[in-house]
Amino acid sequence: MRKLLVLVLIMSSLVFTACSSDSDAATAMWEDGTYTGAAKGYAGEIEVEVKVTGGEIVEVNILNHNDTPGISDGAFKDTPGAIIEAQSADIDALTGATASSQGIVDAAKAALEQAKK
């Protein structure tokens, strides 16, 4: 019985180790640099700049947009931070100004395509 328990514990630890993610590999998928991308927002093209340092996204800046002030403010304020926090542009668009938020996300994805190793 004791041998069976030890065997089960060893097998369990191997399974959990094999299924764990390597966060260093996930954060080092981009070359350092500053990249720009553009995509369609609510009222036209949105252009963003993404800065990568040490393989991590450290800045997302909105360079140009034609979206409606006031309505799209939340998207322009919150979406760049969400991309930095997630270390990915694969995030959901924020509600309230969905088209603007999606435009920022898509523009960041375009920028990060250039940064891929």
State pLDDT tens for residues 73-102: 999 999 999 999 999 999 998 888 899 999
The token duo for 22 is 């390597």
What is the architecture of the domain spanning 28-115? Answer: Alpha-Beta Complex (3.90)
Distance CA 26, CA 52 (A): 13
Domain boundaries, the chain: 28-115
State pLDDT tens for residues 18-70: 554 444 444 468 999 999 999 999 999 999 999 999 999 999 999 999 998 88
Q: How confident is the model at residue 71 (pLDDT cuts 50, 70, 90)?
A: confident
Residue 27 has a pLDDT of 46
Distance CA 105, CA 101 (A): 6
pTM for the whole thing? 0.75
